[in-house]
Amino acid sequence: MLGARAEALLVARGPGVVAGLPAVDVVLAEVRERLRLGPAAFRPEVADSAPVEAGTVLGRFAGPARVLLAAERTMLNFLGHLSGVATLTAAFVEAVAGTGAVVRDTRKTTPGLRHLEKYAVRCGGGANHRMGLYDALLVKDNHIQAAGSLRRAVEAARAAGPGLPLEVEVETLEQVADALDLGCDLLLLDNMELETMAEAVKACGKRARTEASGGVTLDRARAVAETGVDFLAVGAITHSAPSLDIALDWEG
């Protein structure tokens, strides 16, 4: 019976934004090779980044039943998680619509899944901050403490990564002034009250861009964006996104 051919549907059980469909073919190919069985075909009915409702058919399968059953859980794990990331990202993007602020991810990603999760963020309409220490630098509070001052930390970062984009975490208006004096062009406003954040944005003017971080919840996102910040750093869209419920429904 397991050697027979089968057909199945990939179905969204709830509303959301789809991400990760290319992973289906990768999983099917891996399982087929390991089981030494014939190919299983997958035909997507929607594309990544598409908003879907509950009951939407995402794709159709045809192939050996054993391959589909063996691949089922891994496929659904990828799709559910990545679609969950895209769905939560889209909710944040919608919350700040019209403000001009851009929702960005962080490096708070699942080990081994950073590229996939950041791809899912883009599917949800968000933007990627950085992949690692090799493409952008961020001077944080611990760096400042270790270096002895904000100036020393910034100088050390510039020496270690000349030419790389450099962002500096600031917690007070005094640190904002110091960072601007050092010529920093991107400031991470960490855990500031909304009024203080608005003052920091005003102080930066056109000299530096600003990014809000810390306590940026979905309920609070619009108020944060309306302070005038350029970016919202939201770690939750990768580390706390609930999985989108997606199922494999057998046909026949």
Query: What residues are labeled active site?
Result: 73, 108, 140, 169, 190
Alpha-carbon span 195 to 99, nearest angstrom: 17
Comparing CA positions, the residue from 129, 201, 196 lying closest to residue 166 is 129
Six-digit token string for 58: 């995402």
Supply the DSSP string of 27-64, one letter for each residue.
Answer: HHHHHHHHHT----EEEESS-TT-EE-TT-EEEEEEEE
What's the alpha-carbon Rg for the chain, to the nearest Å?
22
How far apart are alpha carbons 71 and 82 in whole angstroms? 17
Helix boundaries (H) for 96-242: 114-123, 141-147, 150-160, 173-181, 194-204, 221-225, 236-239
The total number of residues shown for the chain amounts to 252
Q: How remote is the C-alpha of 58 from its chain's centroid? A: 21
Which residues make Cβ contacts (< 8 Å) with residue 235, sequence separation at least 6? 105, 106, 108
Give the burial class of 8: count Cβ atoms within 10 A of its Cβ; 0-12 exposed, 13-18 middle, 19 or more buried.
buried
Task: Give the span between the Cα atoms of 220 and 174, in whole angstroms.
Answer: 25
- Amino acid identity for residue 106 in this structure: T
